[in-house]
A and B are shown apart, each in its own frame.
Chain A
Amino acid sequence: MSQAPAVESGPAPAPATDAHPDDVLVLDGVRIHDDLSDTELVHGVSLRLRRGGVVGIVGESGSGKSLTCRAVLGILPDLIEVSGGSITLLGRDTATLTRRDWTALRGASIGAVFQDPASYLNPSITVGRQLQEVLRVRGGLSREDAHRRAVELFDAVHLREPEQVYRQYVHELSGGMLQRVLIAIAISLDPEILIADEATTALDATVQAEILDLLAELTERLGLALVLVSHDLAVVAQLCDEVLVLRDGHVVEQGPTGRILHDPQEEYTRLLVAEHEQYGLERYLTPEPSHV
C-alpha cells in the first residue's frame, strides 16, 4: 500500500465560487503546513456543509482529520497554519478573521466536542455552573435565566434528572454523561455548526450509539450542521450524507455515503469496507458481500 494516494479522486466537490445561501461551511483546497519541520501535513481538503447537513471525515490518527477540524475552529497549534486554499465560515473567509472575531464566532456560530470530555471541564466546579457561566457571560442571560436554560439544555441532551446533574462534579458522572454535558455546552449559544471529533470513540458501544443518536436528533431538531469525524467508517456512514476518506493528509476518496460504501474506488477505502464485511458484524448481517 505504498502507491501515492490520489489527491483529488472521486467526484470533485463543487468549487466554493458557486456559493449556496445555505452553505455554513466551505473548505476549498485547504492545505495545512507545519512551519517547524517545514512539511505539509494536509494536502488539499475541500468540502461543503449546508444548514442541517452532515459531513463525515474518516481517517486514522495522523491522517489530518483533527488538524482539519482545528483549522476550521481557528485553533491550530503554534507554528502550524493554513498554507493554501480557503475556509469560509458562515460566509466569512477565516483568513481575514482577527482573534477577536474568532472569540465571537466560537460557541456562538461553531461548537465542538472531542474524544475526552473530562479534560474540557473544570473538576472543581459543578457542571451546571460551567454551562450557566457560558450562558451568562457569552449569552448575556441573567443568573436565574442562565440556570433555567442550563437545566433545559441538560434535558435536551437527555441527561436524566437534569437538576441533579446540574449540581454534580465531573468525577460523579460517567463518560457518556460528560459527553452529553459537553454537547449541551457546545450547543448552548445556538451555533450553526457542530464539530464532533472522535466524540464517541472512548465510549462503550451502547453509549456511543446513544451519543450518535443524540447528534442525529440535534441536526434534525435544531437544523444544526454537523462535521462528524471518526476512525470508523461505520460510525460516520450511519449519520452522514457525504464522506471524506483522509489518509496521510490526502483526501483518498470523497463522495455520497452510499457510493463510498457500495462502490469504493480506492484501495484504502476498500480496506475500510472489507474490515467490516470480513471481520465485523456484517459477516452475519449481510447475506452476501456485494463487493471487495
Chain B
Amino acid sequence: MSEPILEIEGLDVAFGRGHARTIALSGAALRLFPGEAVGVIGESGAGKSTLARAVLGLAPVTAGSVRVVGRDVARLSRRGRREFGRSGVAQYVFQDPLRSLDPDQTVQAAVAEPLQIRGELSRGEIAAAVRAQFAAVELDESLLDRFPAQLSGGQRQRVAVARALVTGPRLLLLDEPVSALDSANRVRILQLLERLRATTDITLLFISHDLGSIAGVTDRTIVLNRGRIVEDGPTAQVITAPRHPYTRLLVGSAPTLTSGAADRARRARLRAELAAAS
C-alpha cells in the first residue's frame, strides 16, 4: 500500500487554559491515501474546523501528530511552516472566497501567486499555467483581469479552486466549499471535484455540516461528535447503516426528497437514543 497523504495519530487539541480550557479534539486518528475523497461531518463545535486547522498546522496541538505527505505539521517552526506553505503540497478552499481572495488582486494574479512564490517557472510558463487552470475550472478567459468583487459567488469559488490547484497539490482541503453557493453553482463545484478525482490522484478532505454535499463527492465519511471521531467508514455505509447514535440522528435529520411525516416519529426516537447514550 502506498504512503498515506495525511496521517493523524492520537491528536488532542485544546484551546484556552485553566477553567476556560476547551478540548476541541480528543484522540483523533485518521489516514488518507492517494486518490481518496473523505468527508468530515459534524455539528458546529464538533471539531471540524479544528481538524482543518490542524491539517494546516495552525491548531494548538497538545498531543499526537499530523503528518502531511510524511511531514509532521503539528509542531512546525516558523521557517518550516513557510517552506511547507511554499511547497504547495497541501492546498485549501474555504467557504467564502470573498474573504480568502485578496480584493485588490485580479483573479489572474491570485491564481498565479502560488506559482510565483514557489519561483520555479518563468513568467510565460506561469501565464500558460494560469490559463490552463482557468479552463480546467470552466472559467472564461475574459474574467482573468477582473477583481473578486466583480465575479459571482460561484465564479469566485472556482477561482479559489483554480488557485488551490495550480501548484498541483497532493492534498486538497475543502472547508464548507459549497455552503454559501446556490444550487447551480453547488452542483458545478461538485462536478468539478468529481472530474478532478477522475483525472488525477489528488486526495480530498471535504469538511461540511451538510451530509448531502458529502454524499455527493466522497467515498469515505468521518463523523465528528463533541471532539471525537465517532464513525469512519464508506460513505454509502455511513448513510445506509450508521452505527453511532449521533450518526443515526444526523442521517435521519438530513432533509431529503424522500423524507416525510413518518420520519418525525423516527427522529423523536433517535433523539432519545442519543440522549441516553451521551
A binds B: yes
**What residues make up the interface of A, taking CB atoms closer than 8 Å to B?**
1, 60-61, 204-210, 212-213, 216-217, 231-235, 237-238, 261, 271-286
Interface pair A272/B256, CB less than 8 Å apart? no
Q: Mark B57-90, 1 if CB is under 8 A from A, else 0.
A: 0000000000000000000000000000000000
Interface pair A204/B44, CB less than 8 Å apart? yes
Interface pair B253/A205, CB less than 8 Å apart? yes
Interface pair B215/A234, CB less than 8 Å apart? no
Interface pair A205/B250, CB less than 8 Å apart? yes
Residue B267 CB within 8 A of the other chain: yes
Interface pair A275/B255, CB less than 8 Å apart? no
How many residue pairs at the A-B interface have CB separations less than 8 Å? Answer: 107
Interface pair A273/B257, CB less than 8 Å apart? yes
Nearest CB in chain A to that of B210: its residue: A205
Which residues of the other chain, B, contact A261 by a CB distance below 8 angstroms?
Answer: 257
Interface pair B256/A281, CB less than 8 Å apart? yes
Interface pair B255/A232, CB less than 8 Å apart? yes
A132 to B230, CA, bound (A): 42
Chain B nearest Cβ from A277, distance in angstroms: 7
**Contact of A280 (CB < 8 Å), options: B216, B236, B251, B264:** B216
Which residues of the other chain, B, contact A286 by a CB distance below 8 angstroms?
Answer: 257-258
Residue B14 CB within 8 A of the other chain: no
Chain B nearest Cβ from A9, distance in angstroms: 19
A-B contact pairs, 21 of them (CB 8 A): A1-B184, A206-B43, A209-B254, A210-B253, A212-B255, A213-B264, A213-B267, A231-B183, A237-B257, A238-B255, A271-B187, A275-B187, A276-B212, A277-B257, A279-B213, A279-B216, A280-B256, A281-B212, A281-B256, A284-B235, A284-B236
Which residues of the other chain, B, contact A238 by a CB distance below 8 angstroms?
Answer: 255, 259-261, 263
**Contact of B211 (CB < 8 Å), options: A60, A205, A275:** A205
Interface pair A284/B252, CB less than 8 Å apart? no
**What residues make up the interface of B, taking CB atoms closer than 8 Å to A?**
43-44, 182-184, 186-187, 190, 209-213, 215-217, 235-236, 239-240, 249-261, 263-264, 267-268, 271
Interface pair B183/A275, CB less than 8 Å apart? yes
**Contact of A281 (CB < 8 Å), options: B187, B251, B264:** B251
A234 to B256, CA, bound (A): 5
Q: A279-B212, A279-B217, A281-B215 are in contact. Are A274 and B254 (CB under 8 A)?
A: no
**Chain B contact surface mostly:** helix
Interface pair A206/B215, CB less than 8 Å apart? no
Chain B nearest Cβ from A87, distance in angstroms: 27
Which residues of the other chain, B, contact A209 by a CB distance below 8 angstroms?
Answer: 252-255, 267
**Contact of A276 (CB < 8 Å), options: B182, B235, B256, B261:** B256
A277 to B190, CA, bound (A): 13
A272 to B186, CA, bound (A): 11
Chain B nearest Cβ from A52, distance in angstroms: 14
Q: A204-B43, A276-B256 are in contact. Are A285 and B184 (CB under 8 A)?
A: no
Nearest CB in chain B to that of A200: its residue: B255
Nearest CB in chain B to that of A284: its residue: B239
A206 to B187, CA, bound (A): 23
Chain B nearest Cβ from A262, distance in angstroms: 9
Chain A nearest Cβ from B196, distance in angstroms: 15
